[in-house]
């Protein structure tokens, strides 16, 4: 697993300022609850679900965020480039991870147990750029997820 360095206070402030710019561009008002949700999401390590974040928010007592509020804030954090959404095909719904100030990487996702393996493979990056160029696209980003069955589930005889 490729763990990004933790955000320091200055990095967190840069991220929150980016969120505030996105909020202003969308014509929304500032919100301390939104900022608190963003702060908690940005400080999490690894991949997390909405339920994981809600549990943490409740346990920390920092903010009393309604689940609907968290569900509305997370796509805004993705739009602002602060989080990346990863689909997990195990019925668990979307998972998120910090995208702000971290290196790009791709994912292998086990469709049985939900295990996520992060990897970097330059040949895939080169191929994606070649494909985009061939079709006249200027890439602005991508999400690359390979779905399959991990070695633990394969060894346990779990069918996919």
Same domain, 39 and 88: yes
Binding site, residues?
A: 104, 106, 110, 113, 125, 142, 150, 153
Q: What is the pLDDT of residue 138?
A: 93
Q: What is the pLDDT of residue 2?
A: 59
Q: What is the pLDDT of residue 37?
A: 95
Number of structural domains in the chain: 2
pTM higher than 0.75? yes
pLDDT in tens, 109-120: 888 888 888 888
b/e map of 47-61 (b: 16 or more CB within 10 Å)?
A: bbebeebbeebeeee
Same domain, 40 and 19: yes
Mention every residue, 6+ apart, whose C-beta is less than 8 A from residue 77: 19, 38, 41, 83, 96
CATH code (residue 15): 1.10.10.10
Same domain, 24 and 35: yes
Same domain, 133 and 85: no
Whole-number Cα distances in Å, 96 to 58, 116, 159: 18, 11, 26
pLDDT in tens, 28-76: 999 999 999 999 999 998 889 999 999 999 998 877 788 999 999 999 9
Same domain, 84 and 119: no
Binding site for Fe cation, residues?
A: 104, 106, 125, 142
Q: Tokens for 102? A: 């971290």
pLDDT (average), residues 2-19: 87
Which residue among 77, 101, 125 closes a domain?
Answer: 101
pLDDT in tens, 133-156: 999 999 887 878 888 999 999 998
Binding site for Zn(2+), residues?
A: 110, 113, 150, 153
Q: Which residues form the domain of 77?
A: 1-101
Same domain, 20 and 77: yes
Distance CA 56, CA 50 (A): 10
CATH code (residue 152): 3.30.1490.190
Same domain, 56 and 112: no
CA-angle at 61, arms to 5 and 98, nearest 5°: 25
Find, among 125, 106, 34, the residue nearest to 97 by Cα: 106
Which residue among 60, 82, 101 closes a domain?
Answer: 101
């Amino acid at each position: 697993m490729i763990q990004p360095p933790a955000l320091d206070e200055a990095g967190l402030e840069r991220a929150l300022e980016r969120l505030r710019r996105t909020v202003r561009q969308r014509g929304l008002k500032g919100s301390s609850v939104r900022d608190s949700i963003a702060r908690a999401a940005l400080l999490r390590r690894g991949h997390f679900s909405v339920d994981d974040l809600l549990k943490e928010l409740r346990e920390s007592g920092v903010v009393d965020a309604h689940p609907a509020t968290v569900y509305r804030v997370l796509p805004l954090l993705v739009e602002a480039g602060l989080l990346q959404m990863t689909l997990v095909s195990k019925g668990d719904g979307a998972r998120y991870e910090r995208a702000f100030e971290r290196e790009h990487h791709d994912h292998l996702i086990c469709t049985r147990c939900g295990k996520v393996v992060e990897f970097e493979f330059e040949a895939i990056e080169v191929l994606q750029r070649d494909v985009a160029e061939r079709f006249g696209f200027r890439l602005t980003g991508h999400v690359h997820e390979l779905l399959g069955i991990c070695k633990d589930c394969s060894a346990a005889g779990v069918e996919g």
